[in-house]
Amino acid sequence: MDAAASVVSLIQFTITGLIVIRQTFSSIREGPEVVTDTVKNVYHLLHILKRLESSHAVKESQDEVLSDVLKSCHADVTRMAQKLEKLDFKASDKMGFKLWRSVKSALKEKELMDFRVKMHRYSSSLATFITIEDRSVSIFAALSCIQSNR
């Protein structure tokens, strides 16, 4: 599998894991602020990954740094999603307080805080990639337009 196809696959699998995490954490009631902050960071990262998933630049990218960031992100998201799936709660259970007690027994608050910080860092790194790629496409389009007018 070439690097670009691998990147797209990583994005898709990471999105799947983030959806599990978002559903679980969004259902928690009576949890600490770190839970709501984590949900916000997961939403931001989901949005960014969905943009990357449909990006033409990503589909053709051979960028090793992007690949490394996505591999690391995927590994962290997969670990967290697997921990939450082991709790065997469904987000539709509407048992937010009970869910929080189960999450708290499976995760230390420091681990949750570290996960939140990692999601924020991945969002920042990937958003920067999107910005750079968007500007590169704009510059390339402008140069092509200038050259065609000559």
Q: What is the mean pLDDT of residues 71-75?
A: 95
**pLDDT computed for residue 106 by the predictor:** 75
Structure tokens at 111: 């681990």
**Distance in angstroms (rounded) separating the CA atoms of residues 27 and 96:** 5
The amino acid present at 96, given as its one-letter code, is G
This prediction's pTM: 0.80
- Please state the rounded mean pLDDT for residues 111-119: 93
Three-state DSSP class for residue 103: helix
Measure the CA–CA gap between 109 and 106, rounded to whole angstroms. 10
List, in sequence order, the alpha helices (H) in 28-108: 33-53, 56-59, 64-86, 96-106
* Contact indicator for 62, 76 with CB cutoff of 8 Å: no
- The Cα–Cα gap between 25 and 87 comes to 12
pLDDT-based confidence at residue 13 (cuts at 50, 70, 90): very high
Closest CA to 83 of 52, 127, 114: 114
